[in-house]
Amino acid sequence: MAFDSLSAFLTMEGHGSYVWVCYCVFVLLLTALALWSRSRRHAVLREQRRLLELEESGTREQAPAAATFSRIHPS
């Protein structure tokens, strides 16, 4: 696809506004996803670091015992 000028490229024979809006929405969503992933990663690392420090200092409480399930026999 060859265009004669920059304005022809931007307008894309009347379809430019749709195409550029789609590209902008895609880039915004991709950026938001990257920022959200980065913040979640940092939160997980902080939490794990905190748990490791608690475990090393010996103040971490023991996890509660696992739940037990028994089979229910219908009467």
* Residue at 14 is within a domain: no
Rounded to whole angstroms, the Cα distance separating 33 from 35 reads 5
* 57-69: pLDDT as tens digits: 887 666 666 777 7
Q: What is the pTM of this model?
A: 0.61
Rounded to whole angstroms, the Cα distance separating 17 from 11 reads 7
* Residue at 37 is within a domain: yes
* Residue at 35 is within a domain: yes
Residues of the chain with pLDDT under 50: none
Six-digit token string for 24: 């902008």
- Among 61, 41, 65, 40, which residue's Cα sits nearest to residue 51? 61
The pLDDT of residue 63: 64
Coil, strand, or helix at residue 17?
Answer: helix
Rounded to whole angstroms, the Cα distance separating 52 from 58 reads 10
Domain of 51 in residue numbering reads as 29-58
